[in-house]
A = this chain, B = another copy of it.
Amino acid sequence: MSEEEPTPGSVRPGGRTARTRAAVLAATFDELGEGGYGELTMEKIAQRSGVHLATVYRRWGSVERIICELMIDKSADIALPDTGSLRADLLGLASGIGVFYAAPRNRRVMEAVVAAAVRQPYAAEMLRDFFRDRRREAAVLVRRAIERGEVPADTDTDAVIAALGAPFYYRLLISRGPIDQDLAETTAAAAYEAARAGVFRHPAADAGER
């Protein structure tokens, strides 16, 4: 599966690049299925992917950069529901996150990114920006709920989505227990009840009423 020295014109550069990327990400994901982040090396990734070590270094530079790209790639699998009710939408999203992290490999990818972020500023930035973008996308669930009058109009949509996500990362990184449907249900219900009660209204608007 070497991608070195293709016959000129026989392979589109974009196609080869995409295949190299897919092979490296798949190999990294497989390695994480067998061992933790601590055992992961560029050599193992190169060997498993069939991509030359020099190519892997040139393109990614470090295990951490591959891990970051893998997280972005994998997280795209979590869908945003549109059921017509906030309660069901939040439960759908929470269940999606729950199913995602029920897979040990996905847990390890996220753990590895968080650990990388502690040591590498670019990983910290990537992590922060990626989650900010994901929350922005998911905020549509709350905006629709505002339009339907299910939650106060001045609800901080980002805060609701952050509240929905937080318990999964607490379970994953701090209490280190299983991520299951129970957690998804409790988390979704907690975010819903708090949003309904007006807990996530923008502080400024809230202060104006005092």
Contacts and interface: CB of A to CB of B under 8 A. Distances in A.
A167 B163 CA distance: 6
A197 B186 contact: no
Nearest to A176: B128
A118 interface: yes
Q: Which 9 A-B pairs have the closest CB atoms?
A: A166-B170, A190-B194, A38-B119, A115-B118, A166-B166, A193-B197, A115-B115, A128-B176, A189-B199
A114 interface: yes
Q: Bin the interface of chain A by size.
A: 35 or more
A174 interface: yes
A63 interface: no
Interface string A107-151: 000011011011110001001100110010000000000000000
9 contacts: A38-B119, A111-B118, A114-B114, A127-B174, A165-B170, A169-B169, A170-B170, A186-B199, A186-B200
B175 A163 contact: no
Contacts of A194: 189-190, 193-194
A191 to B, nearest CB: 8
